A = this chain, B = another copy of it.
Amino acid sequence: MSSRIEFCKMDFLKEKLRSLDTDLILIVADLNVWSLYSKTLSLLNIDGKNVLLWKAPDGEKVKDFENLSSALDFFLSRNVHRKAHVVSLGGGATSDFSGMVAALMLRGVKWSTIPTTLLSMVDAAIGGKVAINSPQGKNLIGAFHHPENIWVCDSFLETLDQKEISSGAGEIVKYALLSRDIYAKIIPDVEVKSLIKDCVQFKEEVVTEDFKETGRRKILNFGHTFGHAIEKEYHLPHGISVVWGILLMDILFNDGKYKADIFKIIENLNIDLGESPWLNKEFPVENIMLYLRKDKKTTSSELIDLVVLKEIGNVEILSVSFSEIENKISDKKEDIKKLCSI
Q: Which residues of A contact B (CB under 8 A)?
A: 23-24, 50, 65, 68-69, 72-73, 76-77, 79, 81-83, 103-108, 129, 131, 134-137, 139-144, 293-294, 296-301
Contact = CB atoms under 8 A, between A and B. Distances in A.
Count chain B CB atoms within 10 A of each CB in A68, A105, A141 and give the residue with the most. A141
Contacts of A293: 79
A73 B141 CA distance: 10
A217 to B, nearest CB: 12
A107 B76 contact: no
The secondary structure that dominates the A interface is mixed
Contact of A300 (B72, B73, B83, B134): B83
Contacts of A298: 79, 81-82
Closest 5 pairs (CB-CB, A-B): A81-B298, A76-B136, A107-B142, A65-B69, A106-B296
Contacts of A137: 76
Contacts of A296: 82, 106-107
Contacts of A76: 134-137, 140-141, 294
A83 B143 contact: no
A134 B79 contact: no
22 contacts: A65-B69, A72-B140, A73-B134, A76-B135, A76-B137, A76-B141, A77-B136, A79-B294, A79-B301, A81-B300, A82-B296, A82-B298, A83-B299, A103-B143, A104-B141, A104-B142, A105-B141, A106-B140, A107-B129, A107-B131, A107-B143, A107-B144
Nearest to A297: B82
A299 B85 CA distance: 12
Contacts of A300: 23-24, 81, 83
A72 B139 CA distance: 12
B65 A141 contact: no
Given A106-B296, A143-B107, A294-B79, A301 B136 contact: no
A72 B141 contact: yes
A328 B82 CA distance: 24
A196 to B, nearest CB: 25
Contacts of A50: 301
Contact of A65 (B68, B136, B140): B68
Contacts of A134: 72-73, 76
Nearest to A142: B107
Nearest to A101: B141
Nearest to A76: B136
Given A76-B294, A81-B300, 11 more contacts: A65-B65, A73-B134, A76-B140, A81-B298, A83-B299, A104-B141, A104-B143, A105-B140, A105-B141, A106-B140, A108-B143
Count chain B CB atoms within 10 A of each CB in A107, A134, A137, A140 and give the residue with the most. A107
Contacts of A140: 72, 76, 105-106
